C-alpha cells in the first residue's frame, strides 16, 4: 500500500492517510492480517512527518481497524464492507469507464466530483430522477 498526500486538498494529512486505509479496506486491497507500511516507509514515500503517520495509525487503532504490535508493525485487525471483491472490481471498472467518458466530454475532476456527490446526496436508485436545486 502506498499513500499519496494532496497538500492542496484542505484535509489534514493524517485524515488523508486514515481515509486511504479505510478505502483500501473497503475495496479489499488490504484485509485482516495484512501489515501496513512502517511509519518510516510512509514518511519516506509521502514526505509527511512521522507524528502525522502515528496520529493516523492511532486513529485507525482507536476505531478497531488496526493493531500495533510492539517491534512488528501495524496490522489490519478488521475489514470494512461486506461486498464480494469480484462485484467491487466490476463496479470499479464500470465507474472507471464512466469517468473516462466524463473526461472525454470535457469534465474536470471537480465537475465529476460534483456529479457523484449530487447522485449520492439524492440517494438515487435506478429509474429515479435527481431533483434540481
Please check the confidence at residue 22 and state whether its pLDDT lies above 60.
yes
Please check the confidence at residue 130 and state whether its pLDDT lies above 50.
no
Please check the confidence at residue 128 and state whether its pLDDT lies above 70.
no
> Which residues neighbour 81 within 8 Å (Cβ) at sequence distance 6 or greater?
25, 26, 27, 28, 88
- How far is 117 from 29, CA to CA, in rounded Å? 24
Helix (H, G, I), strand (E, B) or coil at 77: coil
Average pLDDT of the chain is 88
- The pLDDT score that the predictor gives to residue 133 is 44
- The pLDDT score that the predictor gives to residue 124 is 58
Q: Write out pLDDT tens, residues 65-89.
A: 999 999 899 999 987 766 777 887 8
Please check the confidence at residue 93 and state whether its pLDDT lies above 60.
yes
Q: What is the rounded average pLDDT of the residues 1-23?
A: 93
pTM of the model: 0.70
**What backbone torsions phi and psi does residue 75 show, to the nearest 5 degrees?**
-120, 145
- How far is 108 from 84, CA to CA, in rounded Å? 31
**What backbone torsions phi and psi does residue 69 show, to the nearest 5 degrees?**
-115, 120
Amino acid at each position: 500500500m502506498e499513500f499519496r498526500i494532496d497538500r492542496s486538498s484542505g484535509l489534514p494529512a493524517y485524515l488523508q492517510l486514515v481515509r486511504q486505509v479505510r478505502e483500501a479496506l473497503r475495496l479489499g486491497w488490504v484485509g485482516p492480517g495484512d501489515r501496513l507500511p512502517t511509519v518510516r516507509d510512509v514518511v519516506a514515500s509521502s514526505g509527511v512527518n512521522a507524528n502525522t503517520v502515528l496520529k493516523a495509525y492511532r486513529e485507525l487503532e482507536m476505531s478497531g481497524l488496526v493493531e500495533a504490535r510492539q517491534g512488528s508493525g501495524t496490522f489490519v485487525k478488521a475489514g470494512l464492507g461486506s461486498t464480494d471483491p469480484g462485484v467491487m472490481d466490476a463496479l470499479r471498472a464500470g465507474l472507471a469507464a464512466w469517468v473516462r467518458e466524463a473526461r472525454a466530454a470535457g469534465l474536470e475532476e471537480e465537475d465529476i466530483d460534483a456529479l457523484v456527490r449530487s447522485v449520492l446526496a439524492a440517494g438515487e436508485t435506478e429509474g429515479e430522477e435527481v431533483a434540481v436545486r
